[in-house]
Amino acid sequence: MFLQHLHLQSFRNYQHQSVAFSAPKTILLGDNAQGKSNLLEAVELLATLKSHRTSRDRDLVQEGSATGHIKAQLKRELGTNELNLVLRKSGRRAVIRNGETLKRQQDFLGSLNAVQFSSLDLDLVRGGPGERRVWIDTLLTQLEPIYAYILQQYNQVLKQRNAFIKQHTAEEDGKPLDATQMALWDAQLATAGTRVIRRRARGLDRLIPLAQSWHQAISGDAEKLVIAYEPNVPLTEPPTADLSENAPTIIQQTFLEKIQSRAVAEYHQRTSLVGPHRDDIAFSINQTPARQYGSQGQQRTLVLALKLAELELIEAVIGEPPLLLLDDVLAELDLKRQNQLLETIEDRFQTLITTTHLGAFDARWLRESQILTVHKGSLSGDAL
Ligand SMILES: Nc1ncnc2c1ncn2[C@@H]1O[C@H](COP(=O)(O)OP(=O)(O)OP(=O)(O)O)[C@@H](O)[C@H]1O
Ligand SMILES: [Mg+2]
């Protein structure tokens, strides 16, 4: 897919800005705080309806405006998509595709696919489990937009169950929770949670071999990467075992048993302790956890391998190459890894790259790229 045109209006520090993308690679060049990442963020929002920098639309709308717009023209194999995302300070969004306002925002997902790679992604390895859950959830949402519903349902049940536990442990100090009501919440949590677990397991099953082979290609045979899904409720069947979502499964049974075994702890801690909101993904290199012991270089290689695997997997599932958004990362990679990345991208994946200086770039790359200068929320360069 190819993003042909982007128009930002009252978005972050852009007042009115149109961009026509004219090459497979676009370099956004500018000093700090000029709007480079903001532009990538706009594309990320079209892909995921989320920004990794904020969860509040009022941060995205330009100061002094009530409404912000991100409009895009995207060429896909089956035709051109006009995408339009309207953000409001008040919070209510509108999503419009080819002139039609979509009733359910999640139906917009899948319109544009993108893999984001920023220096923040090192937190994937170094950070806590929450970072890794957001990562796999974002990827799954792009692979199968229905996952957004599945996750939302789970989070809703989780929130309600937590509220129930809190309310009742406060009111009936010392008394056990209403067993019938609690059993209903348990069942709902296990049903919704099992769907999340299976999707995560299936997605990782496909991603892991790709990431491993990339990792081997980048690091040489000396390093062996192992990635393991660590679900809070243990997987008791292969992820491909039973694909019908509603069939009662062994995982669901295990889920309920684990809830039982943690009932007392949940009562005292007044929150849900069992479920995929406590999942993790473990990365290890040569049998050593990458999180604690990996060197900076090893962690970068690992994240690069994950990102390349994401690109490949999305392309395989969607049938078209996704966009790649590189925010400040090229300069962080050594020349060998830079070249590895660039060779993989070739002209297949449309790539938007931000940088504060061109010095680190390969001359061949510079010749083939569209270079846009970003200054105080305004772009200048060829083809604008
Ligand atoms: N809602 C908003 N309204 C107006 N300006 C905003 C808004 N949100 C962010 N900005 C401005 O955008 C600028 C930051 O832009 P951005 O993060 O894209 O910088 P950058 O070019 O990527 O810089 P760096 O090289 O440091 O990463 C800041 O000056 C900030 O004040
Ligand atoms: Mg930036």
pLDDT, one tens digit per residue, over 11-47 is 999 999 999 999 999 999 999 999 999 999 999 999 9
What string of DSSP letters covers 294-315?
A: --HHHHHHHHHHHHHHHHHHHH
pLDDT for residue 174: 59
Residue 95 lies in a domain: yes
Is the CB of 32 within 6 Å of ligand 1?
A: yes
Question: What is the distance between the alpha carbons of residues 340 and 315, in angstroms, rounded to a whole number?
Answer: 18
- Please tell me the residue having the least CA distance from ligand 1 atom 25: 32
| Helices 146-171 & 179-219 angle (0-180, nearest 10) | 140
The beta strands (E) that lie in 290-369 are given as 323-327, 351-355
pLDDT category at 82 given cuts 50, 70, 90 is: very high
- What pLDDT score was predicted for residue 342? 82
Cα–Cα distances in angstroms (integers) from residue 285 to residues 23, 25, 207, 310, in the given order: 37, 32, 17, 19
How much is the average pLDDT of 240-253?
64
* Ligand 2 center–CA 375 separation, angstroms: 12
Does ligand 1 come within 6 angstroms of the Cβ of 68?
no
Banded pLDDT at 179 (limits 50, 70, 90):
confident
Residue at a domain's end among 266, 286, 319: 319
Number of neighbours of residue 94 by Cβ within 10 angstroms: 14
In whole angstroms, give the CA distance from residue 363 to residue 382. 18
State residue 126's pLDDT score: 92
Per-chain mean pLDDT for the chain:
91
Among candidates 127, 85, 125, which has minimal Cα distance to 303?
Answer: 125
The pLDDT, as a whole number, for residue 175 is 67
- Ligand 2 centre from 53 Cα, in Å? 11
Q: Looking at the structure, do residues 109 and 132 belong to the same domain, yes or no? A: no
- Tell me, yes or no, whether 346 and 313 share the same domain: no
* Domain encompassing residue 12: 1-113+320-384
Q: What CATH number is associated with residue 101?
A: 3.40.50.300
pLDDT digits (tens, 9 = 90+) for 88-120: 999 899 999 999 999 999 999 999 999 999 887
Report the largest interatomic distance among the alpha carbons of the chain, rounded to a whole angstrom. Answer: 72
Distance 144 CA to ligand 1 centre (A): 31
Supply angle C-alpha 326, 298, 328, rounded to 5: 20
CB atoms closer than 10 angstroms to residue 139? 21
The finding on whether 37 has its CB within 6 A of some atom of ligand 1 is yes
pLDDT of 137 above 90? yes
Task: For residues 99 and 135, state if they share a domain.
Answer: no
Residue 195 lies in a domain: yes
Q: Are residues 72 and 210 in the same domain?
A: no
Question: pLDDT for 279-333, tens place per residue?
Answer: 999 999 998 898 887 888 888 889 999 999 999 999 999 999 999 999 988 877 8
355 C-beta closer than 6 A to ligand 1: no
Which spans in 109-175 are helix H? Answer: 123-126, 129-143, 146-171
Residues making up the chain, counted from first to last: 384
Please indicate, yes or no, whether residues 305 and 330 belong to a single structural domain of this protein.
no
2-11 vs 14-20, strand pairing mode: antiparallel
Assigned domain for 285 exists: yes
C-beta 198 within 6 A of ligand 1 = no
Which atom belonging to ligand 1 lies closest to the Cα atom of 31? Answer: 25
Q: Does residue 77 carry a pLDDT above 80?
A: yes
Give the confidence band of 171 by pLDDT, cuts at 50, 70, 90: low
Nearest CA to ligand 1 atom 28: 33
pLDDT of residue 241: 56
Asked if residue 280 and residue 150 are part of one domain, the reply reads: yes
Q: Which CATH number does the domain housing residue 289 bear?
A: 1.20.1050.90
In a domain? residue 118: no
Q: Please state the atom number of ligand 1 nearest to the C-alpha of residue 58.
A: 1
Looking at the fold, whether 178 and 300 belong to one and the same domain comes out as yes
- pLDDT value for 69: 98
User: Atom 29 (ligand 1): residue with closest C-alpha?
Assistant: 33
Do 310 and 324 lie in a common domain?
no
Neighbours of ion ligand 2 (CB under 5 A): 36-37
* End residue of a domain, out of 276, 298, 319: 319
What is the DSSP code string of 159-223?
Answer: HHHHHHHHHHHHHTTTSPP-HHHHHHHHHHHHHHHHHHHHHHHHHHHHHHHHHHHHHHHHH-TT-
Question: Quick one: 198 and 183 in the same domain?
Answer: yes
Based on the fold, state whether residues 184 and 141 are members of the same structural domain: yes
Of residues 60 and 267, more confidence is placed in 60
Query: Looking at the predicted structure, is the pLDDT value of residue 383 above 60?
Result: no
Q: Please indicate, yes or no, if residue 119 is contained in any of the structural domains.
A: no
The whole-number pLDDT of residue 229 equals 96
Q: Looking at the predicted structure, is the pLDDT value of residue 242 above 60?
A: no
Exposure b/e, 296-330, CB count within 10 A at least 16 = b: eebbbbbbbbbbbbbbbbbbeebeebbbbbbbbbb
The residues facing 178 across adjacent strands are none
Distance 95 CA to ligand 2 centre (A): 26
